[in-house]
Amino acid sequence: MTQHLTHAGLPADLTRWQLLRLVETARRPLGLSKGAVSYLRHAIGLTTDGDFAKGRICAFWASVTEISASLSMERRQITRIEAELIERGLIHKSSTNRSRRSGHRLHGVIRHEFGINLAPLIERAQEIQALAQRAMQEQIEAKALRKQINKLFERIRGLGRDEAELAADAVLPNHRPSTIQSFQRLKQVAAALEAVLADFSADAGGGEMSHQCDISTLPNTNPDQIDKTCRAENRAARRPIRTTPAQVWLLASERFREYLAFYAAGLGSGRALNERCLVMAARDFAMNIGISAREWGRSCEALGEGRTALCLLIADRNAGRGDGFRVRDAAAAFVGMVRKEARQGAVVDALLGELTAFSRGCVHV
């Protein structure tokens, strides 16, 4: 028996062609391909204004061959598009794949149909309207973000510091926000550049951890070792990275946090981390994921313990991400990051800013 799908009608202030324009605007949030939008444009053209009135059947029964000819597409493309629209909950297919589509219209009103029904699309009109409004707002905000990013690059250049410009380059190498289409990515870039600007502009503040080779350790009375350490510190003489305990906790992965919590509890500081907790936790964590003691020592000699610990924290957290910053192997990424930081500097600054922006915008997993 043929299934007749009626609907509740469009909102009073919306026409069928206005609905189509909303679909076009909300294409990305709806997860539709451009071909699917072209299909819906053709489908709406096969209906009448009356079909969108409350209690009516809104459908068409053009064959796949007819639709493919009208849209200059292959039959299999049309079949895939119809499956896509069914999956997205925007159309209902009352005909079967091998049956002939048909329908009957009497005095301008569809009495029955055996084809493609648009009732699901009409029922979601208000939702689509909200998605389109949000998409338009994001377009406005994206335009403002692109301007903000350009101004941030200007302000960072105005600092007159090569390491600041290197950090900005690491965030967006081509300096062209116009090439970024993702609104979320634009927000991440803007936040990362803000962090770079703040990091290179701000004076040292209270309650911050300065990641330099200044951790309180037991005295070393070996003259050869003292000389070696001093040479290493001279090679690693670079501006400290300032992070707060809260920021370290925010950036750490779940498994890294377990090591931090263990050492914080052992030192009697609870979750109020200090740099010694970070360094000790990072050292043990490194051994656990396959970084040799020799490699760890060489990294600390090149960068200092605090900066080395941050490299590991960043590499480990990025291993759990699903975006363009994801790394497959935290240990290998750590080694590469240390070498790059030792070679050109400012790499950790940029990645720290980007990861901070990412962490604040997502749920920690």
DSSP assignment of 225-278 equals HHHHHHHHHHHT--PPEEE-HHHHHHHS-HHHHHHHHHHHHHTT-TT---HHHH
SS (H, E, C) 6-33: ECCCCCCCCCHHHHHHHHHHCHHHHCCC
Going from the C-alpha of 57 to that of each of 22, 107, 168, 282, 331, the distances in angstroms are 21, 13, 57, 65, 61
How much is the pLDDT for 5?
84
pTM of the model: 0.51
pLDDT on residue 204: 29
Distance CA(28)–CA(321), nearest Å, equals: 22
pLDDT at 212 exceeding the cut of 50: no
Each residue's pLDDT tens digit, 126-135: 999 999 998 8
State the average pLDDT over residues 38-47.
96
* pLDDT band, residue 218 (cuts 50/70/90): very low
Mean of all residue pLDDT scores within the chain? 80
According to the model, what pLDDT value does residue 73 have? 95
Residues 250-301 have pLDDT tens digits of 778 888 888 888 777 655 444 456 787 888 888 888 888 888 888 898 899 9
When pLDDT is cut at 50, 70 and 90, the band that residue 357 belongs to is low
Mean pLDDT of 220-231: 42
